[in-house]
A and B are shown apart, each in its own frame.
Chain A
Amino acid sequence: MNQLRRTFLKGTSAAGTVAVAIAAGLLKPGQVMAAEWNKVAFNATTTADAMKGVSAAGAVESKDILIKAPDIAENGAVVPVEVTSKIPGTTSIMIFVDKNQNPLIADFELSNGAEPYVSTRIKMANTSFVRVAVKAGGKAYTAGKEVKVTIGGCGG
Chain B
Amino acid sequence: MAEGMKIRATMQGDVADVKALMNHIMETGLRKDSKTGQLIPAHFINQVTATLNGKTVLDAQWGAAVAKNPFLGFKVKGAKAGDKIVINAVDNHGEKITGEATVA
Binding site for B on A (CB under 8 A): 2, 33-35, 37-38, 42, 77-80, 82, 97, 100-102, 104-115, 117-124, 153-156
20 interchain pairs, CB-CB under 8 A: A79-B67, A100-B65, A105-B62, A105-B66, A107-B60, A107-B61, A108-B74, A109-B58, A111-B58, A112-B57, A113-B57, A114-B76, A118-B74, A119-B19, A119-B71, A119-B72, A120-B70, A154-B28, A156-B30, A156-B34
Question: Given the complex of chains A and B, what is the CA–CA distance between A33 and B55 in angstroms?
Answer: 12
Q: A113: shortest Cβ distance to chain B, in Å?
A: 5
Interface string of B28-42 (1 = CB under 8 A from A): 101110100000000
Q: Which 8 A-B pairs have the closest CB atoms?
A: A119-B73, A115-B75, A121-B67, A114-B57, A109-B59, A108-B60, A113-B78, A123-B65
Question: Given A42, A118, A123, which contacts B73 in the complex, CB threshold below 8 Å?
Answer: A118
Apart from A78-B67, A109-B59, what are 4 other A-B pairs with CB-CB below 8 Å?
A105-B65, A109-B58, A112-B76, A114-B76
Interface string of B52-95 (1 = CB under 8 A from A): 10011111111111111011111111110000000000001000
Q: For residue A107, which residues in chain B have a CB less than 8 angstroms away from its CB? A: 60-62
Q: Total contacts A to B, CB within 8 angstroms?
A: 123
Question: Given A2, A113, A117, A118, which contacts B52 in the complex, CB threshold below 8 Å?
Answer: A113
Question: Given the complex of chains A and B, what is the CA–CA distance between A136 and B33 in angstroms?
Answer: 43
Binding site for A on B (CB under 8 A): 15, 19, 26, 28, 30-32, 34, 46-47, 49, 52, 55-68, 70-79, 92
Known: A37-B46, A111-B56. A122 touches B79 (CB 8 A): no
Looking at chain B's contact residues, the main secondary structure is strand
Find out whether the CB atom of A112 lies under 8 angstroms from the CB atom of B73: no
Q: For residue A111, which residues in chain B have a CB less than 8 angstroms away from its CB? A: 56-59
Question: Given B30, B65, B71, which contacts A97 in the complex, CB threshold below 8 Å?
Answer: B65
- Identify the closest chain B residue to A77 (Cβ): B67
Find out whether the CB atom of A38 lies under 8 angstroms from the CB atom of B61: yes
Question: Given the complex of chains A and B, what is the CA–CA distance between A114 and B17 in angstroms?
Answer: 10
Find out whether the CB atom of A34 lies under 8 angstroms from the CB atom of B58: no
Known: A154-B30, A156-B31. A123 touches B66 (CB 8 A): yes
Q: B92: shortest Cβ distance to chain A, in Å?
A: 8
Q: For residue B79, which residues in chain A have a CB less than 8 angstroms away from its CB? A: 113
Find out whether the CB atom of A37 lies under 8 angstroms from the CB atom of B55: no
- Identify the closest chain A residue to B59 (Cβ): A109
